[in-house]
Amino acid sequence: NAGVTQTPKFQVLKTGQSMTLQCAQDMNHEYMSWYRQDPGMGLRLIHYSVGAGITDQGEVPNGYNVSRSTTEDFPLRLLSAAPSQTSVYFCASSYSTGDFTEAFFGQGTRLTVV
Protein backbone atom coordinates (compact mmCIF):
# COMPACT_ATOMS: atom_id res chain seq x y z
CA ASN A 1 0.00 0.00 0.00
CA ALA A 2 1.35 3.41 -0.96
CA GLY A 3 -0.28 5.36 1.90
CA VAL A 4 0.86 8.99 1.86
CA THR A 5 3.37 9.87 -0.86
CA GLN A 6 5.37 13.08 -0.91
CA THR A 7 7.52 14.42 -3.72
CA PRO A 8 10.23 15.53 -3.99
CA LYS A 9 12.22 14.07 -1.08
CA PHE A 10 14.87 16.79 -1.27
CA GLN A 11 14.87 20.27 -2.79
CA VAL A 12 17.18 23.25 -2.82
CA LEU A 13 15.69 26.62 -3.77
CA LYS A 14 17.09 30.07 -4.16
CA THR A 15 15.49 32.91 -2.25
CA GLY A 16 12.49 34.21 -4.15
CA GLN A 17 11.84 31.07 -6.18
CA SER A 18 8.50 29.34 -6.01
CA MET A 19 7.74 25.66 -5.93
CA THR A 20 5.06 23.12 -5.12
CA LEU A 21 5.44 20.23 -2.72
CA GLN A 22 3.24 17.35 -3.77
CA CYS A 23 1.24 15.11 -1.46
CA ALA A 24 -1.02 12.26 -2.49
CA GLN A 25 -2.86 9.61 -0.48
CA ASP A 26 -4.65 6.51 -1.67
CA MET A 27 -6.68 5.74 1.45
CA ASN A 28 -9.71 7.89 0.56
CA HIS A 29 -9.06 10.06 3.59
CA GLU A 30 -11.02 13.28 3.94
CA TYR A 31 -8.61 15.08 6.25
CA MET A 32 -5.17 16.13 5.03
CA SER A 33 -2.64 18.49 6.52
CA TRP A 34 0.84 19.92 6.13
CA TYR A 35 3.38 20.30 8.92
CA ARG A 36 6.87 21.66 9.13
CA GLN A 37 9.42 20.24 11.53
CA ASP A 38 12.20 22.41 12.89
CA PRO A 39 14.77 21.65 15.60
CA GLY A 40 13.55 22.72 19.01
CA MET A 41 10.06 23.55 17.74
CA GLY A 42 8.52 20.20 16.97
CA LEU A 43 5.94 19.77 14.23
CA ARG A 44 3.79 22.78 13.50
CA LEU A 45 0.62 22.81 11.43
CA ILE A 46 0.78 24.95 8.27
CA HIS A 47 -2.55 24.32 6.50
CA TYR A 48 -5.16 21.63 6.57
CA SER A 49 -8.19 20.44 4.62
CA VAL A 50 -11.29 18.61 5.81
CA GLY A 51 -12.33 17.63 2.29
CA ALA A 52 -12.13 18.52 -1.38
CA GLY A 53 -12.61 22.24 -1.88
CA ILE A 54 -12.17 23.09 1.83
CA THR A 55 -8.92 24.39 3.30
CA ASP A 56 -7.98 26.35 6.39
CA GLN A 57 -4.94 27.86 8.05
CA GLY A 58 -2.97 26.23 10.76
CA GLU A 59 -0.44 27.66 13.16
CA VAL A 60 2.17 28.94 10.67
CA PRO A 61 0.44 29.63 7.31
CA ASN A 62 2.32 32.72 6.12
CA GLY A 63 4.21 32.22 2.87
CA TYR A 64 2.32 29.07 1.92
CA ASN A 65 -0.76 28.35 -0.17
CA VAL A 66 -2.79 25.19 -0.52
CA SER A 67 -5.70 23.92 -2.56
CA ARG A 68 -7.69 20.69 -2.52
CA SER A 69 -9.31 19.95 -5.85
CA THR A 70 -9.46 16.18 -5.30
CA THR A 71 -9.69 13.91 -2.28
CA GLU A 72 -6.33 12.35 -3.12
CA ASP A 73 -4.08 15.38 -3.59
CA PHE A 74 -3.10 18.25 -1.33
CA PRO A 75 -0.21 20.31 -2.78
CA LEU A 76 1.64 22.94 -0.76
CA ARG A 77 2.89 25.98 -2.65
CA LEU A 78 5.72 28.24 -1.60
CA LEU A 79 5.08 31.55 -3.31
CA SER A 80 8.46 33.25 -2.81
CA ALA A 81 10.87 31.08 -0.87
CA ALA A 82 12.75 32.56 2.08
CA PRO A 83 15.61 31.08 4.15
CA SER A 84 13.19 30.89 7.10
CA GLN A 85 11.27 28.25 5.15
CA THR A 86 14.21 25.86 5.29
CA SER A 87 12.68 22.90 7.06
CA VAL A 88 11.40 19.37 6.73
CA TYR A 89 7.82 19.27 5.50
CA PHE A 90 5.43 16.45 6.28
CA CYS A 91 2.05 15.71 4.78
CA ALA A 92 -0.47 13.72 6.80
CA SER A 93 -3.90 12.26 6.21
CA SER A 94 -6.62 10.70 8.32
CA TYR A 95 -10.13 9.38 7.79
CA SER A 96 -11.68 12.18 9.81
CA THR A 97 -10.83 14.52 12.65
CA GLY A 98 -12.69 12.84 15.48
CA ASP A 99 -12.35 9.78 17.63
CA PHE A 100 -10.97 6.52 16.19
CA THR A 101 -8.90 8.63 13.83
CA GLU A 102 -5.33 7.57 13.17
CA ALA A 103 -3.00 9.93 11.31
CA PHE A 104 -0.65 8.65 8.63
CA PHE A 105 2.41 10.57 7.52
CA GLY A 106 4.49 10.76 4.39
CA GLN A 107 8.27 10.40 4.39
CA GLY A 108 8.87 14.12 4.26
CA THR A 109 10.41 16.70 1.96
CA ARG A 110 13.67 18.25 3.10
CA LEU A 111 13.77 21.81 1.76
CA THR A 112 16.75 24.13 1.85
CA VAL A 113 16.39 27.76 0.79
CA VAL A 114 19.67 29.53 0.07
Count of residues that bind other proteins according to CB under 8 A: 24
DSSP string, the chain: ---EEEE-SEEEE-TT--EEEEEEESS--SEEEEEEEETTTEEEEEEEEEETTEEEE-SS-TTEEE--SSSSB--EEESS--GGG-EEEEEEEES-SSTT---EE---EEEEE-
Question: In whole angstroms, how close is the CB of 16 to other proteins at the nearest point?
Answer: 27
Question: In whole angstroms, how close is the CB of 1 to other proteins at the nearest point?
Answer: 14
Q: Does 104 bind other proteins (CB under 8 A)?
A: yes
- Residues 41-80 as x/- pattern, contact with other proteins by CB under 8 A: xxx-x--x---------x----------------------
Nearer to other proteins by C-beta: 58 or 63? 58
Kindly list the residues in this chain that would bind other proteins in the complex (CB under 8 A): 33, 35, 40-43, 45, 48, 58, 90, 92, 97-108, 110
